[in-house]
Structure 1
Amino acid sequence: MIVYLLIAVIIVLCFAELYLNHSKLARELKKVPGPKNHFILGNGLEIIVSPVELFKLGRKYANKWNGIYRIWAYPFGAVNIYNPEDIEIVVSTMKHSDKSPIYKLLKPWLRDGLLLSSGAKWQQRRKILTPTFHFNILRQFYVTLEENSRRLVNKLDATLGEPVNVTPLLSEYTLNSICETAMGTQLSGETSKSAKSYKEAIYKLGNYLVERFVRIYLYYDCLFAFSTLGKKQKNALETIHRFTDKVIRDRKENFVEKNTETEDGDEHLYVHRKKKRTAMLDLLITAEKEGLIDELGIKEEVDTFMFEGHDTTAVGLTFFLMLLANNKEAQDKIVAELNEIFDDSNRPVKVEDLPKMRYLECCIKESLRLYPPVHFISRTISETVVLSNYTVPAGSLCHIHIYDLHRREDLFKDALKFDPDRFLPENCIGRHPYAYIPFSAGPRNCIGQKFALMEMKCVVSTLLRNYVLLPVTRPSDIEIAADIVMRNNGPINVKFERRFK
């Protein structure tokens, strides 16, 4: 009896192996080099590790294979690419524009906002939102960015000579900035506590998403909803949505007052406000009145831009300040450039000053090369495509590893070295257009990249006119943990000392 039972189990396992790991998709993908497949589980066991180890695993595979490798763990098969030729094929057109099922994990949070939507809905939302990031409206936002930069300086005055974990300070700066500009809502004292809870909830949510990512059985919503992780995520989402709902509610009340005073019943508010180039949330509220978007749609876009507009920029600034503190020569060259612009004046930075900060821009770009805040994007291959001479079947996932792309030695000599001169105009000639993509690329590139660069220039120039940045956390101390954005596994500390002229 035991023998028959054992034979039956073996037969079932063999059928399971055939069904799970030998489908047409699996057979095609296994022609691409990758880690050894295990019976039934494929490569599933390798990725069930801590966030720090998961990030290291990706770098291990990237070093082992040349520009492409595959992962198979039923029901998902993915090619991982990090060379510019393949990336151009995937992202340069709308052909493979749909985000991969991995992004389904973000749906409870961002729902169907611009990051996750596709097709006609994405095109309509992009069309509505694009005017918000026109240069003329960014100029209007600049005064707010400069005021917030000076507030940050005032806070840092109390920490002179002490190691400062810059992450929470910069997160507060960017959250205030996105609320007061794109959302048209100032965070008052009564909302500061909820703003802090919002930022903490986003950080927790990132960890929950990674945990779910490595446990494939939790991809099924029915199982996830009843899991401990699912309940934790629900609590975090309630905090996040409560905060963004209040931002929308407050702006709508203010919008009604302004509309009553200034619009006088104009039936074409959306067109009118597009011409006035108003804040993003105002534009969405006007679009709702025009029947172009509903209340849920506004919530989707506000959640998306509140996250992308503050967290990614805060991450970029955090690593940039760490790099400047550890690279005195680059810091001194930026200060020399600022001295040429401002002489001995203590006047605030104006928007007209920003284009003159050419070396500062090179430094920002180099920092985003080494530490791209969004280090990983993923698409669904819509039709069979050839990548690195391998046939990748339709239905495969395609993970684009921006972090590994930016650190390829054949694209950037001494790739691990912080060298802003790489981005001097004469040194960019001949570089593949998809070799450097910190804001993604193609039709689905980051809509807010000009805003982010303006914000980074504004705050860093203000800080360097007031402080010398001294190293505490070194690049060798950095230990990245897998997350939806790039995060260090611990604080990033910098010392600030008053800069005397």
Structure 2
Amino acid sequence: MFFYLFGFAAFLVVIHILFNYNPKARAILRIPTTSGNFIIGHALNMLLCSEVELFRLGREMAAKFQGIYGFHAFPVSIVNIYNPEDVEIITSNMKHHEKGFIYKFLQPWLQEGLLLSNGPKWQKRRKILTSAFHFNIIPKYFATMKDNDKVLIETLKKSDGQPIDIVTTISEYTLNTICETAMGTNLRAEKTKKGVAYKTAIYDLAKYIIYRFSTVYLYSDFVFNMTWLGKSQKKYLNIVHDFTTSIIEKRKEAIKANEVGTIEDNEDEYLVKKKRAAMLDLLIAKQNEGLIDDVGIQEEVDTFMFEGHDTTAVCLTYTLLLLANHPDVQKKVIEELDDIFGKDTRDATMEDLSAMKYLDLVIKESLRLYPSVPFIMRQTTQPCKLSNFEIPANTMCAIHIYDLHRNEKYFPDPEKFDPERFLPENSVGRHNYAYIPFSAGPRNCIGQKFAMMEMKSSLSSILRNFNIAPITKREDLCFNIDLVLRTTDPVHVKFIERRLD
């Protein structure tokens, strides 16, 4: 019996050595970190924590260590960074451009669209899509945004000054907006079962991806596909892909029949609703040139839909919360809008958005405190040095934007909501990689100008019509670990109609 026990113990020791003393593990464990457990390393940190506890654990680790810490649970090794010097090394060029393993959970939905592709394919797609977000093209989506702004204002008026959950309301607005600008389809007008099912599927797919991300045993495709979650995800994927396929085909037919505008149409045609172009039109044009196929078009349309609604909704939610809880800042925004519009109820123009300098500062500060995407992941494709530690190739690197934006060296009193810290004179000497709400480097967010236009358009429309009063306080916020910065509970504010007479 003793022999068997000794043999089993020796076997466990060998496994522990193989798991935790291989070259990569030794390199990661030289980085400051908490002590691990026998064989399983830091796995218990994830297995025993809820989604809320995981988010809180990340903040505790960031407070304990100085800009970098390690995580190792064979076969996963992660370097966690949140100092601008290391962030620059990882993001500033194409050396470490590949996405981390977490993004594989999105692959059944987005396949090899711009967010997930690598190498030559990514470079080709980025070149194609850059033209859709060219500064001359972005204003052509503005008319669609204004229409959705008006629907949003009418929805808020129906609240009659009572508290509402802005997460639900704003998400509906951004989903409708990106659907029209990306695919040229109005989900509100889409009364078919397919349109309703598509909207539901979008939300449920995101929930499944989040749950899988926070549940370690579901990382295996084989295990996940065997569960009811995997089977439900497949059903929703079919709904989403069938819908986008049908929209793409309808759009192609409409373009052939000259029923919609294209990206090259003259400016006047965008004043006529049926002539408005969508991002999809550019992809169809590129297909006609032989640069992309049907699968590629669907990949990018699905990517637009995923990236274009949730992240913007998150930013708008926290900006409204901050404005509600900081009436002094809200007053300055309203004064700026009154200087631009006076008592005129006309629609805003692109020139008006450019004049909203203080609102621009408010959005930037909101994104600093509450970045829509709290962390991103990259994979080192070659050895590098981070904070003087040697990092092997093929190591996952998690960039914690939430903690990066709270670096006291660059943002004194970091928890304070202070839009003026982004004034040019207050930004002198700030590290270029200390603030990256839209990621950074070659793989930064291609749609950031589009997102800023949408946020300024919607926020200015809201504040021209309402004063915002707080219900949910900043200290009430409780965050989940998630792909976007999401709270456990609804976020409530009150919209009180302004009288301009």
TM-score (norm 1): 0.93
1:208 Cα deviation from its structure 2 partner: 2.8
Measure the CA separation in 2 of the matches of 1:331 and 1:430: 28
Q: CA deviation at 1:458?
A: 0.5
Q: Secondary structure at the match of 2:348?
A: coil
Cα deviations by residue, 1:106-152 (Å, 9 ceiling, x for unpaired): 11111110001011000000111111111221111111111211111
Q: How far off is 1:394 after superposition? A: 1.0
- 2: CA distance, partners of 1:194 / 1:371: 34
CA distance in 2, matches of 1:352, 1:478: 36
1:448 alignment counterpart: 447
Instruction: Identify the residue that residue 326 of structure 1 maps to in structure 2.
Output: 325
Distance in 1 (CA, whole Å) between partners of 2:108 and 2:323 is: 37
Q: Distance in 2 between matches of 1:88 and 1:193?
A: 47
- TM (normalized to structure 2)? 0.93
Report the counterpart of residue 422 of structure 1 in structure 2: 421
Q: Deviations over 1:69-111 (max 9, x none)?
A: 0000111101000010100010000010011122111111111
Tell me which amino acid in the other structure corresponds to 2:172: E
Output one character per residue of 1:176-228: Cα deviation in whole Å (capped at 9) or x when no partner: 21122232222253448655654544443344334333444432222221123
SS in 2 for 1:484: coil
2:214–2:481 CA contact under 8 A, matched in 1? no
Give matches, 1:263-282, under 5 Å. 279-282=278-281
Moved segments of 4+, more than 6 Å: 272-277
Whether contact under 8 Å (2:93, 2:441) holds in the other structure is: yes
User: What is the CA distance between 1:490 and its match in structure 2?
Assistant: 1.3
Equivalent residues of 2:261, 2:277 under 8 A apart: no
Q: Aligned AA for 1:477? A: D
- Counterpart-to-counterpart distance in 2, 1:113 and 1:431: 33
Distance 1:22 1:198, change over 3 A: farther
Which stretch of the first structure deviates more once superposed, 220-229 or 471-480? Answer: 220-229
SS in 1 for 2:94: coil
Q: Which runs of 5+ in 1 are unaligned?
A: 264-269
Q: Indicate the residue corresponding to 1:266 in structure 2.
A: none
Corresponding residue SS for 1:135: coil
SS at structure 1 position matched to 2:71: strand
Once residues 486 and 466 of structure 1 are traced to their aligned partners in structure 2, the CA distance between those partners, rounded to angstroms, is 28
Q: Where does residue 83 of structure 1 map in the other structure? A: 83
Give how far 1:44 is off: 0.7
SS of the aligned residue for 1:488 comes to: coil
CA separation in 2, counterparts of 1:149 and 1:422? 29
Percent identical = 51
**Structure-1 residue corresponding to 2:240:** 240
- Check conservation: 2:190, 2:196, Cα contact below 8 A: no
Matched, 1:382 2:381: yes
Q: Cα gap change, 1:214/1:307 in structure 2, threshold over 3 Å: closer, same or farther? A: closer
> Equivalent residue of 1:80, what SS?
strand
How many residues align? The count is: 492
Q: Is the 8 A contact 2:284 2:297 kept in 1?
A: yes
Report the equivalent of 1:183: 183
Structure 1 residue 274: Cα displacement: 12
Stretches of structure 2 lacking an aligned partner (at least 5 in a row): 270-275
Q: Which residue of 2 aligns with 1:34?
A: 33
CA RMSD of aligned residues (A): 2.2
Residues 351-371 of structure 1: per-residue CA shift (max 9 Å, x gap)? 110111000000000001111
Q: The residue matched to 2:435 in structure 1 has which SS?
A: coil
* Distance in structure 2 (CA, Å) of the matches to 1:161 and 1:20: 59
Work out the CA distance in 1 between the residues paired with 2:401 and 2:345: 39
Give yes or no for contact 1:206–1:483 (8 Å, CA) kept in 2.
no
Q: In structure 2, do the counterparts of structure 1 residues 47 and 460 end up closer, same or farther at CA, with 3 Å as the change threshold?
A: same
CA contact (8 A) 1:52 1:481 kept: yes
Conserved? CA contact 1:185–1:250, under 8 Å: no
Secondary structure of 2:257 counterpart: helix
Counterpart of 1:221?
221
Query: What SS does the corresponding residue of 2:98 show, helix, strand or coil?
Result: coil
Q: Which residue of the partner structure matches residue 393 of structure 1? A: 392
Rounded Cα–Cα distance in structure 2 between residues aligned with 1:258 and 1:143 = 20
Report the 3-state secondary structure (helix = DSSP H, G, I; strand = E; otherwise coil) of the residue aligned with 1:77: strand
Once the two structures are superposed, the pairs formed by residues 423-438 of structure 1 within 5 Å of their partners are 423-438=422-437
Q: Which residue of 2 aligns with 1:285?
A: 284
The worse-fitting range, judged by mean Cα deviation, of 87-96 and 195-204 is: 195-204
Give the 3 Å change call, closer, same or farther, for CA 58–262 of structure 1 in structure 2.
closer
Distance 1:498 1:70, change over 3 A: same
